[in-house]
Copies of this chain bind each other. A is one copy, B any other.
Amino acid sequence: MNRTFVSQLAEGSGREIAVRGWIQRFRELSRTSFIILEDCTGLVQCVAPTEALHDLHLKPDDTIEIRGRVRAEPRSRASFEIDIDQVIPLNRAGDMLPFNSGSDISGVSQEIVLDYRPLSLRTESVRDIFRVQASILKYFREFLDRNYFTEIVTSKIVAGGTEGGTNLFAINYFDRVAYLAQSPQFYKEYGVAGLERVYEAGHVYRAEPHATSRHLTEYYSLDLEMGFIDGPEDVIQLERELLTYIFNEINTRHADILARRGLSPLPSMLGVPTWEFDDCLERLRSAFGRADLADDLDPQGERELCVLAERENGIPAVFVIGYPLRSRPFYTRPRGDSGAASFDLLFRGLEITTGGERLHNRESLERALIGRGLAPEAFETHLRMFDLGMPPHGGLAIGLERLTMQILGLTNVREATMYPRDRHRLTP
């Protein structure tokens, strides 16, 4: 008998069908037993006389096939129930699981949740996180496809770093040393030279020795780069529209998930303001008495700025532009006396994007390298690409895990990473 998905039960109404899935809950009363069966499309309650199931010793998380008859049941979540004719165990779960798919795992330690990731994915609260994450990916790509961007796939094994060689993981590459890419920055700039508008969603690597709640050694970067811009404001405006598009889709498609977590719909980002870096320092001084910041913001400053932004605009988000040039990579376009034409987006207290306009001609790149004590000769393979007709351009990178975390109000980026990597964690 062909297997029917739970979401397709309407088509099987009144007929004999077979469903397959996990036992999410099993309730054995004196005369009747109830199995809540779950597959990738939903949950359905299945009913049988207790004595008919007794010898099977069913328990939560066993995988089974149920053959039975579909009966309309308007009061149930699936709108149907199944009267069981037969239960066929497919593969049993172990007897000593640390929790079950139907458990409330809010009290389970993060280590256990990660060590038992397949099982935690089967709980509603964790599955919800990764459903939202998959939607972020989908609507990120959809928005960009509709705006003339081309998806590219670029190498993560590189001969050197994009930012001068710190925090790189070294690979034994035959008789040489290679490195894991920290960013697709150079490749997406080449992509602009070739295709004008490109994006890539892929892994990047930082040999980050600190295991904080915001840092991983491997994360997934939503990168885009676009040519023929007038300035970093064009990139900022694109991000406003991009995030608004993604947020609208999440509000529509995952209203149930937001509701389960007690979250309001995500805001439109179209009105998120752009504040100058120097102005941000001034605001932090006057509102919070902060006098310790000079070259960069710290996590506390990011949270405080979002508080101020929410007071002014109702949305705890702000683009900060004009960071000191010396704190930005060599390829950053200068702005004003000592500022950078680059920006961060702070959202709900955390930096989730870095972006900006880049230098686009060879001479200015050579000057910038020399100004940082780097030898242009070492970057010749890279610099050559700027002779090929490189337009003015800029772009941005959004950390997928951080964005997921901020959308859902999680407190540790590991919750939004299926298999997180840090100094201490390499498995599973």
Contacts and interface: CB of A to CB of B under 8 A. Distances in A.
Interface of A: 3, 5, 7, 20-22, 39-41, 61-63, 65, 90-94, 97, 101, 116-122, 127, 130-131, 133-134, 137-138, 141, 145, 148-159, 169-174, 176, 178, 180, 186-187, 190-191, 193-197, 202-203, 205, 207, 209, 217-218, 220, 227-228, 360-361, 381-382, 385, 387-392, 400, 418-421, 423, 426-428
A157 B208 CA distance: 14
B118 A159 contact: no
Contacts of A122: 193-195, 388-389
Please report whether the interface of chain A is mostly helix, strand, loop or mixed according to DSSP: mixed
Given A97-B388, A155-B421, A388-B61, A40 B150 contact: yes
Nearest to A2: B230
Contacts of A382: 428
Contacts of A133: 153
A385 B428 contact: yes
Contact of A154 (B134, B155, B197, B418): B418
Nearest to A92: B389
Contacts of A20: 228, 391
Contact of A61 (B91, B149, B202, B389): B389
Contacts of A419: 154-155, 187
A78 to B, nearest CB: 15
Chain multiplicity (copies)? 2
Contacts of A65: 228
B218 A155 contact: yes
A191 B169 CA distance: 27
A39 B62 CA distance: 56
A389 B194 contact: no
Given A119-B193, A186-B428, 9 more contacts: A7-B148, A92-B389, A94-B387, A101-B389, A138-B151, A157-B205, A157-B218, A171-B172, A171-B180
A22 B94 CA distance: 63
Contact of A174 (B156, B171, B195, B207): B207
A118 B190 contact: yes
